[in-house]
Amino acid sequence: MKIQQGGEHFSGVVSLPFGKLGIRTGVGVVNELCYLPPHFEARAPQDATAELVAYQVEQYCADADYRFTLPLKPAGTDFQRKVWEAISSIPRGGVRTYGELAKYLGSAPRAVGQACGANWFPIVVPCHRVTAAGGLGGFANSDDPHGYLLGVKRWLLAHEGSSEYAWQQTTLL
């Protein structure tokens, strides 16, 4: 997940219970979604695709069982796409460790973690469901236990009913 500091580069920035989500779109496709630091201002969707993203993300925030049907632009390497496909098969409320996914894919946990961090469509491809063997682990290439990104991960896991991490939910922003 790449973090862009220039809000003008987003097709919209939506305020959600866990923070801000930046939306980048192309012609009829979602190019990228980004969890944003608290200082970003909300920005109304600028096109129909960004409106669709905003609507679907808000539906998910209201109902963790909501299924995304967004037109995602193909992205990533073959390996990253395999990791993202495996992540997408983790059921709501469930978690898998980097090691479990690595074993399943015949890879290394670090490579799985790097693919998680390179996810262009967080929340839609639920990389928050992947944790370290000994606990929450990092998120979006961050392991700052007090940072906003791990707060997002905690909120998403609690929202989805992951009892293992629900106690870690924090009040954000």
pLDDT value at position 169? 39
User: What is the 3-state secondary structure of the chain?
Assistant: CCCCCCHHHCCEEEEECCEEEEEEECCCCEEEEEEECCCCCCECCCCHHHHHHHHHHHHHHHCCCCCCCCCECCCCCHHHHHHHHHHHCCCCCCCEEHHHHHHHHCCCHHHHHHHHHCCCCECCECHHHEEECCECCCECCECCCCCHHHHHHHHHHHHCCCHHHHCCCCCCC
Q: How confident is the model at residue 70 (pLDDT cuts 50, 70, 90)?
A: very high
Tell me, what's the pLDDT at 143?
62
Catalytic residue numbers, as ranges:
127
Span 16-48, pLDDT tens digits: 999 999 999 999 999 999 999 888 999 999 999
Partnered with residue 32 across adjacent β-strands are 24
Position 164 scores a pLDDT of 59
Could you tell me which residue, 146 or 4, shows the higher pLDDT?
146
With bands split at pLDDT 50, 70 and 90, how would you rate the model's confidence at 162? Answer: confident
Instruction: Kindly state the average pLDDT of the residues 98-104.
Output: 96
**Mean pLDDT for the stretch of residues 91-111:** 95
pLDDT band at 136 (very low <50, low <70, confident <90, very high): confident
Is the predicted pLDDT of residue 2 greater than 50, yes or no?
no
Residue 137: pLDDT band (50, 70, 90) is confident
pLDDT at 109 (0 to 100): 94
- Considering only 61-65, 146-150, 164-168, which range has the smallest mean pLDDT? 164-168
- What is residue 139's predicted lDDT score, i.e. its pLDDT? 76
